[in-house]
Chain A
Amino acid sequence: MIQLLVSRIIGLVPLLLIVSFLTFGMLHMVPGDVRDRILGTDATAEQYEALGEKLGLNDPIVVQYARWLFNAVQGDLGTSAYNSQKVTDAVLDTLPVTLSLTLGGMFVAILIGVPAGVYAGLHRGSYIDRAAVLIATIGQSLPNFWVAMLLVIPLGLIWQVVPATGFVSPSDSITEWIKSITVASIALGTSASAALARQTRGAIIDVLRQDYIRTARSKGLSREVVTFKHALKNASVPVITTIGFQVNGLLGGALIVEQIFGLHGFGSLAIDAVRTQNMPMMQGVVIMGTLVIVLVNIGVDIAYGFVNPKVRSS
C-alpha cells in the first residue's frame, strides 16, 4: 500500500514537469507584451528594457522556465505581473474555495449517484430502474451553473436557509463552512451523480453476471449477503475509477459555479488573469489546478487499493 502511494507520488514528477513546461511555453507565445500594459504606450525604450530585465523577459524561454521551475520547487510560483502579490499566496488563498467545492460536489455525487445506481442495477428492467436511467440522462444534461441559479433562488434568497453568497473557512466554523458550500456542492454534484449512477448501475449489472456470484449463491447465502458483500465490493472497483475521472469535470464546474455564489476561488483568479493578461498568475492557477486533480486522484487510487487486493499486493 505504502509502495503504491510512493510510486504514484514519484509518477507525479514527470507529469508536473510536462504540464508546467507546456503551459509555460504556451503562455509565453502570447501576442503583445505585458510591458505594453504595465508601462502604457508612451514608455521609453530604457524603461522598457529595464522592466524586461526585472521580469526576466530578455532571457531565452528555456532559461526563463528553468528559473521559474527552480523557484517553483521551493514553493515560489512567481510574482503577479501587476503588483507585488506572490502567485503562491494568491493561489493558496483561493485554494480552500475550489477544493471545498470540488470535494463537496464529489461528496454529493457519491451520496446520490452510488445508492441510486446500486438500486437501479439490482432491479434491472423495473420501472424504477428505467425511471432512474432517464432521470440520470436528464441530470447529465443539466448545466451545473443553471442548477445553482435555480437552487439559490429558493434556498438562499427566499427561505434563506443557507447564505446566498460568501465563503466561510472551515477553520472559522465547520457548520458555517458547510452551509456556505452546500448549494454549490449540490449543483456541482447533480450532473456528476447522474453519470456516477449510470456507471454504478452498469457495474452492478456486470458483477451480478460473474461466476463468483453464482458460487456465492450455490453456498446458500441469502440475497442480501450475495448483494452487499459479494457484489458491492467488486462493483466498487469501476465505480471508484469513474469517480477519479470526474474530478477534472468537478473542478471545471467549480470554477464556474463559484461565480454565482460570489466565492473567490480559482475561477475568479483565472478570469482576472485572462482579463489582465497576468500570465504568471495564470501559470500558477493551471499548475495548482493540475496538482489538485492529481492529488485527489491519488486519494482515489488509495481507495481503489482497499477494494482491489490485486492492486494492493502488486
Chain B
Amino acid sequence: MNTATHAPLTGTQRFLRAFLRNRLAVIAASYLVFVVLVALFGQYTLVHSPNEVNLSRALEGPSAEYWLGTDHLGRSTLSRVVAASRVALEAASLGVGIAILLGAPLGLVSGYFGGWWDRISMRIVEAIIALPALLVAIAIIAILGPNLTNAMIALGIANSTAFFRLMRGAALEVREELYVDAARVSGAAPTRVVFGHVLPNVTGPLTVQTTLAFSFVLLAEAGLSFIGLGVQPPNASWGAMLSVAQGFVYQHPFLAVPPGLMIMFSVLAFNLLGDGLRDAWARVDHQGEPTGAAKRRMGSAQQQDTESRAQSRDAADNAALLQVQNLEVRFPAPRGGELAVVSEVGFSVPAGKTVGLVGESGCGKSVTSMAVMGLLAEGGRIAAGSIRFDGEELVGLNETQLNKIRGAKIGMIFQEPSSSLNPAFTVQNQLGEALRVHEGLTNRQADARAIELMDQVGIPGASQRASDYPHQFSGGMAQRVMIAMALACRPKLLIADEPTTALDVTIQGQVLDLLSALQEAYDMSILLITHDLGVVADMCDEAVVMYAGQVIESGDVDAVLRSPGHPYTAGLIASIPQNQKRTGKLQQIPGRVPPAWDWPRGCRFFPRCPAASAACNQPEHIALTRLASGQDSRCVRATDIDVKTLW
C-alpha cells in the first residue's frame, strides 16, 4: 500500500473534511453564525429602536427608511426582527440547555447503574413521551405564568426525554463493553469511566440531537408566542410578530413575511447542520479507502481486459448448459472510478452435473453467480465477457428478457433462508409467485402446487404449514421452502449460494442429500457456491477455485482435490479439519483475501503463498495453463514445485 503520499488523517481531520465537503451544511453553519452575530450586535446598527412607536407610519411596506416596512404601530419590522432573533436564540438556548442538563445526566446515571432506578425512570420517560408535549407546556405555563422563561422550562422538560434516552443507550452500551469492565476492575472512579469512555462515544449523536432540539424548540417557542403564551408584548419575538401579522393578514400580508422567513431559515439551518454533522460522523466511522496505488491499477484494468481476451481459455464446450467466458464485473470504487472485482472468470456447467465454485469470502464467487442471474448489486456491471446459458447469450439482455429466464430456467437459493424469505407474506404465496408469472397458473392452481412442492422437499404437514409465515419456520425448514421455491418451475440450472452455511451441522447433510435427490428427479445442473471443500468432494463433479476475483484452478473434482495444481487450493484442502495431521494445531492459510483495490499485479496470491518467488511478483498478468493432471492452474510455479506438500 502506498501511504507515503499523505499522512493518515486523524479522526477530527477526517470529520472536518467530510463536513466541509457538504456545501449545504457549511452554508447552514455560516448562516447560524451570522444570526448569532446579528443577535449579539445587530441592535447597535439599528436606526429605529424595536419598540419605537410611530402611528403616522403604521403598516408601511419596505422603504429606504424602513427596509422591511412597519407594523400596525409604525414600529420598524427590521428592528423587531433583529431584536427577536436575540430573543429566539436566548430562548432556544435556554430550552435546549434545560433539556440537556436535565436529560443527559439522568440518562447517564440510569444507563450506567441500571436496576430499579433505571426501571422507574424509564416508566416516567415513557409517560412523558405519551403526553401531548405542547399541552403539557401550556399546563406548566398555567402553573408558572405566561412568560418566555417558563415556556422554555416547559419545552426543556418535554425535550429532555430525547437526551435521556440517548445518554442512557450510550451508557448501557459502554457498560456492556469489556474495556469499561477492565477500567472498573482497575479501580477507576465512575466519573472517569463516564468522561473517558461514555462521553467520547456519544459526542456525535449528542451534537446531532442538540441541533434537532434547537429546531424543535425554536418552532415551539414561535408557536407559544404566537398564541400569546410565550414572549409578552411589547417585546418582539418572531412568533408574536406573526400573531400581530395575523390580525392584518388581509390588509397588509407582507407583515407576515419577514418573521416567518426568519423562523423558517433558522430552523432549516439547524436541520441542515444536523444532517451534515450526522453524515460527517458516519463518514468518519467508515474506514478504508483505496490508496493512490490502487487508483492507478483501476486505470490499468482496461489494459488487462484486452490482454486476457487474447489469452482466452480455449475450453469452449458447446455441450455445456452454462458457459461463462472471460467475465469481468466492475463496481464503483469508494472514491470514484471503477474496480474490477471479478476478472477473466471462465467455467462451464455441463447438463446434469454439479460444479462447485470454491474460495474464501471476498473471492468473487457470489458476484460471479449474481452476474449469471443478472442481479448484480446496485452500481455493478458486467464490463466484459460472455455468459451463455442453454444456447442463449445472457450478457446484454434487458430486464424483461432476463425475467423470462430467472425463476423459470435458472433457480437460485441463498445462504440465509430466514432473511431470504419475505417476512410479510405466507410461504404459499411466495412459493406460487414464480408459477403464476412463468406458467400462468391461477391462484388456486399455484396454491395446490405450492403444497405439492413443500411436500416434495420434505416439509411435514405441508398443507397445514402452507399458510404460515416465514418466521414460523426453523432454519432448515425455511431452506427447504427456499429450495421448493427455486425449483417451482423445474429450472435446468440451480444456483446454490452457500446453501448450508447458515444451518446446523446436522441439518446441513439433510439439505445436501435433498439437493442431490432433487437433482436426479429434476435432471438439472447445479452451480454450488461454497467455501467448504468437504461439500465439494461430496456433491460436485467439477471444481472451480476462485481467489481475489480470478479463477486460479479448475478441473475435475478428483484431480483438483487429489493433486491440487495451485498452492491456494492446496492450502484450502489442508485447512479441512479431517485432513489435518494430528499436530494439535489447526492449519490455516495465513492472512486474508485483500480488498479489490489492493490486489497484487502478478500472482494475486503470492503475498500469502509459502512458495512465492521473484517470478510470482511480476507485473505481467498470469494466464491459466493446463497441467498434466488435467486441470488448469494460474500458478507460474505449478510445474517446478510439489504443490501438494506445501502446507
Contact = CB atoms under 8 A, between A and B. Distances in A.
Given A145-B242, A211-B414, A219-B437, A309 B423 contact: yes
A215 interface: yes
A271 B469 contact: no
A234 B422 contact: yes
Most A-side CB within 10 Å, residue of B143, B425, B482: B143
Contacts of A162: none
A19 B127 contact: yes
B570 to A, nearest CB: 34
Contacts of A219: 406-407, 433-434, 437, 485
B433 A137 contact: no
Contact of B422 (A230, A249, A292): A230
Given A260-B246, A271-B228, A279-B142, A145 B223 contact: yes
B459 interface: no
A222 interface: yes
Interface stretch (A26-34, A44-52, A167-175): A26-34
Contacts of A275: 146
Contacts of A149: 242, 245-246, 249, 256, 260
B540 to A, nearest CB: 22
Contacts of A137: 268, 271-272, 275
Interface string A1-42: 000000000000001001100110011011100000000000
B233 to A, nearest CB: 15
A220 B434 contact: yes
Interface in B94-130: 123-124, 126-127, 129-130
Interface stretch (A71-79, A106-114, A283-291): A283-291
* Chain B, interface residues (CB within 8 Å), range: 35 or more
B135 A285 contact: yes
Contacts of B200: none
A220 B407 contact: yes
A95 interface: no
Interface in B212-267: 215, 219-220, 222-223, 226-229, 239, 242, 245-246, 249-250, 253, 256, 260, 263-265, 267
B419 interface: yes
Majority DSSP secondary structure for residues of B touching A: helix
A157 interface: yes
A251 interface: yes
Contact of B249 (A140, A157, A259, A273): A157
Contact of A19 (B131, B239, B271, B416): B131
Contacts of B267: 140-143
B48 interface: no
A218 B438 CA distance: 12
Contacts of A103: none
A270 to B, nearest CB: 5
Contacts of B407: 218-221
B134 interface: yes
Nearest to A279: B142
Contact of B260 (A150, A290, A293, A313): A150
A132 B437 CA distance: 34
A14 to B, nearest CB: 8
Interface in B417-442: 419-425, 433-434, 437-438
Interface in A251-279: 251-253, 255-256, 259-260, 266-267, 270-271, 273-275, 277, 279
A123 interface: no
Interface in A191-230: 210-212, 214-223, 225, 229-230
B143 A313 contact: no
Nearest to A17: B127
A221 B403 contact: yes
A267 B471 contact: no
A22 B139 CA distance: 11
A101 interface: no
Given A138-B264, A221-B407, A26 B132 contact: no
A30 B141 CA distance: 10
B140 interface: yes
Contact of B229 (A252, A274, A297): A274
Contact of B406 (A31, A218, A271, A277): A218
A55 B419 CA distance: 62
Nearest to A249: B133
A271 B472 CA distance: 52
B246 A218 contact: no
Interface string A121-156: 000000000000010011011110110011011000
B136 interface: yes
Most B-side CB within 10 Å, residue of A220, A251, A255, A293: A220
Contacts of A67: none
Contacts of B24: 134
Given A26-B139, A153-B249, A220-B437, A294 B130 contact: yes
Contacts of A252: 132-135, 220, 223
Given A143-B219, A150-B256, A290-B130, A220 B406 contact: yes
B620 to A, nearest CB: 38
Contacts of A157: 249-250
A215 B132 contact: no
B404 interface: yes
A212 B142 contact: no
A120 interface: no
B82 interface: no
Nearest to B228: A271
Contacts of A214: 375, 414, 420
B139 A27 contact: yes
Contacts of B227: 255-256, 259, 267, 271
B419 A212 contact: yes
B250 A153 contact: yes
B253 A153 contact: yes
A310 interface: yes
A178 interface: no
B139 to A, nearest CB: 5
B434 A282 contact: no
A254 to B, nearest CB: 9
Most B-side CB within 10 Å, residue of A215, A266, A292: A215
B616 interface: no
B142 A251 contact: no
A115 B142 CA distance: 41
Interface in B389-420: 399-400, 402-408, 411-412, 414, 416, 419-420
B373 interface: yes
A248 B220 CA distance: 13
A69 B223 CA distance: 32
Nearest to A213: B422
B138 interface: yes
A22 B239 CA distance: 29
Contacts of A15: 126-127, 130
Contacts of B486: 218
Most B-side CB within 10 Å, residue of A255, A292, A297: A255
A273 B140 CA distance: 12
Interface string B490-515: 00000000000000000000000000
Nearest to B222: A143
A251 B226 contact: no
Contact of A277 (B142, B375, B420): B142
A249 B158 CA distance: 12
B133 A286 contact: no
A259 B134 CA distance: 15
A133 B309 CA distance: 45
29 contacts: A18-B127, A19-B131, A23-B136, A26-B143, A141-B264, A141-B265, A143-B260, A143-B267, A146-B242, A146-B260, A212-B421, A214-B414, A215-B412, A216-B422, A217-B406, A218-B412, A220-B402, A220-B434, A221-B403, A221-B407, A230-B422, A248-B130, A251-B135, A252-B220, A253-B223, A271-B227, A294-B130, A310-B469, A313-B469
| For the complex of A and B, 5 pairs with smallest distance between CB atoms | A252-B134, A220-B407, A219-B407, A141-B268, A220-B406
Given A142-B267, A146-B256, 4 more contacts: A149-B246, A221-B433, A230-B424, A309-B424
